[in-house]
Amino acid sequence: MSSRRQIGGVIPPTREELRDIALQYHFELGDDETEFFYDLIDSLMPSYRRIAELPEPKPIVKYPRTPGYQPSLEDNPLRAWYWRCSVQGAPSGKLAGKTVALKDSICLAGVPMTNGSALLDGFMPDVDATVVERILDAGGHIIGKATCEDLCVSGGSITSVPAPVRNPHNHAYSAGGSSSGSAALVVNGDVDLTLGADQGGSIRIPASLSGAVGLKATYSLIPYTGVAPLELTVDHVGPICRTVEDVALLLEVVAGDDPMDPRQRHPVKTEEYTKALTGDVKDLTIGVVKEGFGWGEDSVETDAAVREAIAGFEKLGATVKEVSVPLHRDGTHVFTAILADGLFNQVVYGNGVGFGWKGYYDTKALDYFARSRRSVAHSFSHLYKLIILLGHYMQDRYNGHFYAKAQNQTRLVAASYDHVLQECDLLAMPTAAPQGKALPILEDPTPEEYVAEAFSYHLNTCPMDMTGHPSVSVPCAKVDGLPVGLMLTGRMWEDATVLRGAHAFESLGMYS
Residues identified as active-site:
103, 178, 202
Q: With left for phi above 0 and alpha for psi between -120 and 50, is residue 426 left, alpha or beta?
A: beta
Count of CB atoms situated within 10 Å of the CB of 30: 9
Best CA proximity match to 145, nearest among 169, 168, 172, 125: 125
Count CA atoms closer than 13 A to 202's CA, side-chain side: 31
213-216 sheet: strands from edge to edge? 81-88, 141-146, 99-103, 193-198, 236-241, 213-216, 471-479, 482-489, 426-430, 285-289, 319-323
Instruction: Output the CA angle 397-20-343, nearest 5 degrees.
Output: 40
Dihedral sign of CA atoms 212, 205, 359, 102 in order = positive
Query: If we measure between CA atoms, which residue out of 390, 432, 233, 409 comes closest to residue 334?
Result: 409
Query: With contact defined as beta carbons under 8 Å apart, do 286 and 312 qualify?
Result: no
Cis preceding-peptide flag for 2 (omega within 30 of 0): no
CA distances from 201 to 181, 343, 487 (A): 15, 15, 11
Residue 101: C-alpha distances to residues 13, 179, 237, 239, 460 (Å): 45, 11, 13, 10, 27
**Nearest residue to 383 via CA among 449, 334, 441:** 449
Burial class (CB in 10 A: 0-12, 13-18, 19+), 76: buried
Helix axes 382-398, 328-343, angle to 10 degrees: 90
What gap in Å lies between CA 245 and CA 502, rounded to an integer?
10
